[in-house]
Structure 1
Amino acid sequence: MNPESKLLLEKLDKRFAATDKRFDGIERQIQSNHDSASTRILALEQATKVFDEWRPSIEGVVYDLKIEVGKLSTMKMEVGKITKY
């Protein structure tokens, strides 16, 4: 093999090595981003599950409060009628 070809191959090897390092870094970054996104998605799914379990009880409380407010409105009207007479 002539010296020019050998020099050219060495330069190509260095470039390929540098490119491999860059791709390894990019792959690690992509994997890190994927892991981070997966963790966030799992946390959101768990939070959604908690809210789905919590919602019926809160809707019941809100319904009870509406009934009580309705009763208070009725009582207010009755007290207003009594004070007029």
Structure 2
Amino acid sequence: MNPDIKLVLDTMSKHFEDQDARWEKRFAEHDEKWERKFLETDTAQDVRASQIERAADALEQWQPEIEGSVDDLRLEVKKLNKYYERATIDHPVEAPLLPTTPLLPARRTSASASTHWPNGHRVDTNAREDGFGSVTTIVHPPPKGGCLSCCQGL
């Protein structure tokens, strides 16, 4: 073999061995790093799982107590219904709580009754006398705000 080629092959071989050693070292570092990460994650998951198990145990212990309370309430309501039904049978109510006949609308006053209904949206300012057949020629003063020319003709 040519000594120059042998020198090149030895150099390349040494370079590849050095590169392999660097890769192995790098992989070993990353393996350690990943092993630590996996251990931390496993530990965190174990802690979370134990917390979830404790919460589930607390809920399971709490459930029968709540169910018992609900059953007690159900029995009390049944007793109240029974006593109410018995009381309504023993002592019927003479008058219903709400009227059963419809209410009639309010009546108007009879036609013969004199009523003073409102006159528009203001107070009536008519200063003339009430009634018909007045024989006097006295001219009454005009109402407030009125003029003599329009009110004298009336």
TM-score by length of 2: 0.46
Q: Which residue of 2 aligns with 1:67?
A: 75
Structure number with higher relative contact order (C-alpha < 8 Å, ≥ 6 residues apart): 2
Distance across 1 between alignment mates of 2:94 and 2:62: 45
Shift of 1:84: 6.0
TM-score by length of 1: 0.75
Range with bigger deviation, 73-82 or 29-38: 73-82
Q: Which residue of 1 aligns with 2:49?
A: 41
Larger Rg: 2
In structure 2, the gaps of 5 or more residues are 1-9, 96-154
In structure 1, the gaps of 5 or more residues are none
Shift of 1:56: 2.4
Distance across 1 between alignment mates of 2:88 and 2:51: 53
Q: Which residue of 1 aligns with 2:149?
A: none
Equivalent pairs, count: 84
CA change 1:84–1:77 in 2 (3 A) is: farther
Larger helix percent:
1
Distance across 1 between alignment mates of 2:21 and 2:63: 62
Identity rate of aligned residues, in percent? Answer: 23
Q: 2:21 aligns with which of 13, 17, 27?
A: 13
C-alpha root-mean-square deviation of aligned residues, in Å? 2.2
